[in-house]
Structure 1
Amino acid sequence: MTIEAQAVIGALYGDEGKGLMVDRLAAATSGAVVVRSNGGAQAGHTVVGEAGARHVFHHLGSGSFAGAATHFSRFFVAHPMLLLDELAALDALGVKPETSSDPRAPVTTPFDVIINQALELARGGARHGSCGLGFGETIERNLRPEFALSTKDLFRPDLQDRLVSIRDAWVPVRLAALGITALPAELAAALADETTIARFQADCAAYLDRVTLWPDRRLCERGAVIFEAAQGLLLDQDSGGFPHVTRSKTGLANMLAISAEAGITEINATYATRCYTTRHGTGLLKGEVPVLPGIKVADPTNAPNEWQGTLRLAPLDLGVLCEAIARDLALERGGIAVKAGLAVTCLDQADDGFVVADREEAMQLDPTKAAAHISDRVGLPLCAESWGPRRGDVRLCMDAAAA
């Protein structure tokens, strides 16, 4: 018996239009459940509804406008403090997504945020581009069983004691390991504030009121699965340019592991890329330029900010794109079939004759023919191209063929 799932994966450094592609898939899929397969609240997937409402999805799946439910997999890092704000923002738009979580999903505490921000501030001009939300620090802490905190632990009668232990025993050890001897005044005050734990416990209680515990192995009972990856393949913890990577697997790996538990036998994956390349923070960006020839970059989501700085730009390098996708598709699949296709986004921002890099040479492409050329170079069928920020701006192409 074949049980299929769909997937959207960022092919480069993130910000490739994954939210738009998930929204499009969810609108075409009855009873969809969007599964967050990696990352956490540091994701920022923008969706503009057909009526003009705009939301940047951090926790909730990007299919929410289309009526899809959301599921946090065991690889997703929950952030109760921020989830409640996002739910309130969606409530104001009349969107109330049903939400579930695998009991094993790690949970971010205020102390992970404090350590994360202290580390980035200490790096000064050499910041890695973290969002300062504690994602990587949550992963690090959960490597220590005595300090680990997952969604199921939020029901523990000794939750307060566990949080006190994290504050009093884990934080000093972690700061010392990072070489941080003193915290900035604001962070030090938050760490010392005795109400910090009480406020967090209240957030956790409210989180549990809105999120149903549901194991990944029963995922297909929730609906037709659409995996939504966060970040991009070139930020993968195993294959990205260390140390400027995220603490998660950004491509097929987690999806395959979840599928094995849930009995999913086939994944139809869409790899998304802009028609140019962007990156936040430090790290390699091949062909980086201050201004992109033939591109009018429009990106209100990624405005310059304190933690990630200014969005960096480069022409799309077709060789880099091809290698990143090929590496992901070469993963051991454990008998799960994978079909793959390509989606090219932001074509509405390209003038006639915009530039991409192909075999170390600059090539000018006509935007109306660019997606087909890019997909041909990658060796995948073109499944979608976008000419604007809304679902209706996406042109659907042929179904992805087997990879």
Structure 2
Amino acid sequence: MPAVVLVGAQWGDEGKGKITDYLAEQADLVVRYQGGNNAGHTVQVGEEEFKLHLVPSGILYPGKTCIIGNGVVVDPGVLVQELEELQRRGIDTSGLRLSLRAHLILPYHKSLDAAEEERRGAGRLGTTGRGIGPAYVDKVARTGIRVCDLLDPEEFRQKLARNLKEKNEILTRIYGHPGYSLEEILEEYLAYAWKLRPLVADTGRLVNDALRAGKKVLFEGAQGTLLDLDQGTYPYVTSSYPVAGGACVGAGVGPTAIDAVIGVVKAYTTRVGEGPFPSEARDATGDYLRRRGAEFGTTTGRPRRCGWLDAVILRHAVEVNGLTGMALTKVDVLTGLSPLRICTAYRYKGEVLREFPASLKVLQECEPIYEEVPGWEEDITGARSLAELPAGCRAYIRRLEELVGVPVDIIAVGPRRDQTVAVRDLFSR
């Protein structure tokens, strides 16, 4: 199976960075296909911790080709800084390639993001303020500026001047912002262009050539299914397509190229920002999960809302992604909690809902229906096979598989690369 897509099956923050890093050892190419530096993947290698925002997690393995695809919106200043930090820590970044077709985040995108969020007041969406949404808005409005434009100074100047005329008017007249100088942005961004030029490539061709050659390609998504622009809890979503279908559009490959889709599932549920969350635990259990699981955003540091595992959400993720398997993360965090609860359905005005509703008004009024299962007390961080996990843990995993209808292929029993139980070999099965 040369092509595997890794997607978040909940509201993001499922531990995709660790799983991508684990699978990247077998892959030839690792491709990030959507989102921007609003995402953050934390990878722990031995005693070292790496926080990645734009660079694919496979960069931590020497000799891997890592690609930032056309579906990603790129803040070049953040990318340069991230590369310099990795290099400072001894990581070889020469295998990174950046798509010519990727769109740029510009300073006015970040200002508009912050101003629009502030104006929403109580209806705020909980954005990171990093300009992701406004950059995607420009992409859809066909006024975006791409990496290929940045490499052509005259083309970049013309497009930037055109955009600044409109953006400065919006910023000054509506939001009271002083606006931006064309020359200052040009000076800053053309310096980034000089640094990034050696990395830029037609990445879609690179990926397709690799697939034709039978190489192993891992597609890495950011955020999660319920933050997908179409399939998530709209409008409390991101501005791109984290679902598996987004890998095709965001990397430039056809759907027939994909062999397997793995949903990364946290052993409980978390989300950041606003919006309904039926299985949220607003009690000591939620505090326990947050503290024990270190549930604070990689990018923002914001505390995550925590709750019990929600099988309704996961069945939705199975359907819209076509999941062929799951990678279950942070199972060790549940040690010592008993009984464990799994939300199997919702109750809405006396009706039992087993499918995830589209309406946020309905979702807001849903009450979780829980099934209780025994927990376990044994430390599982040293387990390296399914047989080494305690009976209670194995029963929890089996019940999850029964409720959502797909197998668990990987189990993360700790944050380190080696704290992983491989149930199946994804690239060869």
Distance of 1:309 and 1:190 partners within structure 2: 29
Q: Which amino acid aligns with 2:408?
A: L
Q: Does 1:310 align with 2:303?
A: yes
The 3-state SS of whatever aligns with 1:342 is strand
Distance of 2:305 and 2:114 partners within structure 1: 22
Distance of 1:319 and 1:140 partners within structure 2: 31
Q: Deviations over 1:333-375 (max 9, x none)?
A: xxxxxx7111111111112423222231242343522223212
Alignment partner of 1:397 out of 423, 426, 429: 423
TM-score by length of 2: 0.80
Distance of 1:304 and 1:228 partners within structure 2: 17
Name the structure 2 match of 1:213: 201
Alignment partner of 1:66 out of 58, 61, 66: 61
The 3-state SS of whatever aligns with 2:91 is coil
The count of corresponding residues between Structure 1 and Structure 2 is 377
Deviation of 1:320 (Å):
1.9
Within 5 Å, give how 1:224-263 maps onto structure 2: 224-257=216-249, 261=253
C-alpha spacing 1:240/1:114, structure 2 compared with 1 (3 Å): same
Distance of 2:43 and 2:237 partners within structure 1: 25
Within 5 Å, give how 1:25-44 maps onto structure 2: 25-29=23-27, 32-44=28-40
Alignment partner of 1:11 out of 9, 14, 18: 9
Q: Does 1:382 align with 2:408?
A: yes
Name the structure 1 match of 2:373: 364
Q: Which amino acid aligns with 2:303?
A: T
Deviation of 1:125 (Å):
4.3
Distance of 1:374 and 1:292 partners within structure 2: 24
Q: Which amino acid aligns with 2:97?
A: S
Name the structure 2 match of 1:109: 106
Distance of 2:289 and 2:91 partners within structure 1: 32
Distance of 1:288 and 1:314 partners within structure 2: 4
C-alpha spacing 1:181/1:258, structure 2 compared with 1 (3 Å): closer
Distance of 2:220 and 2:59 partners within structure 1: 12
Distance of 1:200 and 1:259 partners within structure 2: 24
Distance of 2:108 and 2:251 partners within structure 1: 33
Name the structure 1 match of 2:90: 94
Distance of 2:71 and 2:251 partners within structure 1: 13
Name the structure 2 match of 1:332: none
Distance of 1:260 and 1:116 partners within structure 2: 28
Within 5 Å, give how 1:333-352 maps onto structure 2: 340-350=324-334, 351-352=336-337
Q: Does 1:202 align with 2:191?
A: yes
Q: Does 1:181 align with 2:165?
A: no
Contact 1:292–1:313 (CA under 8 A) maintained in structure 2 = no
Deviation of 1:304 (Å):
9.8
Name the structure 2 match of 1:336: none
Structure 1 unaligned spans of 5+: 330-338
Percent identity for Structure 1 against Structure 2:
24
Distance of 1:8 and 1:76 partners within structure 2: 16
Q: Deviations over 1:216-255 (max 9, x none)?
A: 1331445531100011001111111211111111111122
C-alpha spacing 1:314/1:200, structure 2 compared with 1 (3 Å): same
The 3-state SS of whatever aligns with 2:36 is coil
Name the structure 1 match of 2:148: 152
Distance of 1:246 and 1:109 partners within structure 2: 18
TM-score by length of 1: 0.85
Distance of 2:77 and 2:315 partners within structure 1: 38
Deviation of 1:88 (Å):
1.2
Contact 2:34–2:241 (CA under 8 A) maintained in structure 1 = yes
Q: Which amino acid aligns with 2:304?
A: L
Contact 2:35–2:71 (CA under 8 A) maintained in structure 1 = yes
Distance of 1:310 and 1:397 partners within structure 2: 32
Name the structure 1 match of 2:352: none
Deviation of 1:170 (Å):
3.5
Comparing 154-163 with 271-280, greater Cα deviation is found at 154-163
The 3-state SS of whatever aligns with 1:153 is helix
Contact 2:325–2:409 (CA under 8 A) maintained in structure 1 = yes
Deviation of 1:65 (Å):
1.4
Distance of 1:308 and 1:341 partners within structure 2: 30
Name the structure 2 match of 1:334: none
Contact 1:114–1:191 (CA under 8 A) maintained in structure 2 = no
Quote the RMSD (CA, aligned, Å): 2.8
Deviation of 1:171 (Å):
4.3
